[in-house]
Copies of this chain bind each other. A is one copy, B any other.
Amino acid sequence: VIPILSIVGPSGSGKTTLLEALISLLRERGYRVGTVKHAPHQKSLDQEGKDSWRHAQAGAEVAVISTPAGTGVFQARSGEMRLDEVVESYLWDLDLVLVEGYKEERFPKILVYRRESGGEPPLNRGEGLLAVVSDVPLPLEAPLFSWEQPVRVVDFVEERLLKGKRGRERVQLWVDGQRIPLNPFVQDLFHSMLRAMVSPLKGIGTFRRLSLRLDNPEGAGRGQS
């Protein structure tokens, strides 16, 4: 399962700054990182998509803007997606997901704080606390890191969450948005069977990724049952 690390702290305490440093350093080490920002009070993405957002509001399931600087994808129909849906839809093949704003969820957390930014440090967010990045000591039972040494935070995150993650499973099975873990024997078996199934088809020689999807509209769905 893809590890999720939550960055928590008062507004203005430097969450995005820390996120940027973590992303950049993790990337240098070869990890593929995604982020999810939760904005539960934001009532619209109006300014963020212009025409694409108009398409989404008109009823498009997905509206995409494609530019030389990157791609923006807007999904309005579904309302708010659950984090696990977001991860399965957009982040499933990454090594780490950094999240901001899912305060109540039980992910491993890094608490950030700056005295000058004011606000009370959220000391009640102890559950799952992995580390603290702060310019003052806080009465919390977790390693304290300074703002000046993001490399040490990354060393710590790598040690705690990313050991061995760079070699990913070759075969992944997803059922209704949840990844079903496969042990190495079953992975090897599925790998051989998939290769055998597609080998008589024309036009398939070597490939990097193969994906076989099965839709069962009559199914009850796992979430509902």
Contacts and interface: CB of A to CB of B under 8 A. Distances in A.
Interface of A: 16, 19-21, 23-24, 26-27, 32-40, 42-45, 47-52, 54-56, 58-81, 83, 86, 90-91, 94, 98, 100, 168-177, 180, 182, 186, 190-191, 193-195, 197-198, 201, 203-217, 219-222, 225
Query: Within the oligomer, what is the number of copies of this chain?
Result: 2
B86 A76 contact: no
Contacts of A34: 60-64
A64 B79 contact: no
Contacts of A66: 36-39, 80-81, 83, 86
B175 A58 contact: no
Given A190-B212, A204-B180, A64 B42 contact: no
A172 B40 contact: no
A24 B76 CA distance: 13
A70 B60 contact: no
A220 B77 CA distance: 38
A170 B218 CA distance: 11
Given A34-B60, A70-B78, 5 more contacts: A16-B54, A69-B79, A70-B75, A71-B75, A206-B225
A195 B173 CA distance: 12
A80 B67 contact: yes
Nearest to A82: B66
A72 B23 CA distance: 19
Nearest to A95: B61
A216 B170 contact: yes
A51 B16 contact: yes
Nearest to A50: B48
Given A59-B24, A60-B34, A171-B214, A67 B91 contact: no
Given A37-B51, A69-B76, A209 B214 contact: yes
